[in-house]
Amino acid sequence: METNDIISLQKLCTYYNIPFSFINALNEFELIEIVIIQETQCIYKTQIKDIEKMIRFHYELDINIEGIDAIYNLLNQVESLKDEINELNNRLNLYEDQ
């Protein structure tokens, strides 16, 4: 079953040639969220980009799920820090002469 916002796990696993257990493990680590719609396990399409990244981490860099979890937390922190730096830089302009 498909809608514009979700994709079934079955289709996702076939598309990326990955076992269902991998997606399940990501879900168990709360790295992604599986939703059940009309008795079918699905994910939101907005998560696909992250899942692709996790596939690369796992299958191409040999990083286990625990490692992916740690990396994701750190990458999120990096993103937050980048945003904060940008915000502070913009604010700093208030006190600098043009």
Q: For residues 36 and 88, which CB has a smaller minimum distance to another protein in the complex?
A: 88
Q: For residues 28 and 76, which CB has a smaller minimum distance to another protein in the complex?
A: 76
Give the shortest CB-19-to-another protein separation in angstroms: 11
Q: For residues 38 and 93, which CB has a smaller minimum distance to another protein in the complex?
A: 93
Give the Cβ contact number of residue 17 at 10 Å.
8
- Spatial contact of 43 and 3, defined as CB atoms under 8 Å apart: no
- Spatial contact of 72 and 80, defined as CB atoms under 8 Å apart: no
Q: How far apart are the first and last CA of the chain?
A: 57
Across-strand partners of 44? 6
Quickly tell me which residue has 């696993």 as its tokens: 13
Residues that bind another protein (CB under 8 A): 15-17, 48-49, 52-53, 56-57, 59-63, 71, 75, 78, 86, 89-91, 93-94, 98
Give the shortest CB-36-to-another protein separation in angstroms: 25
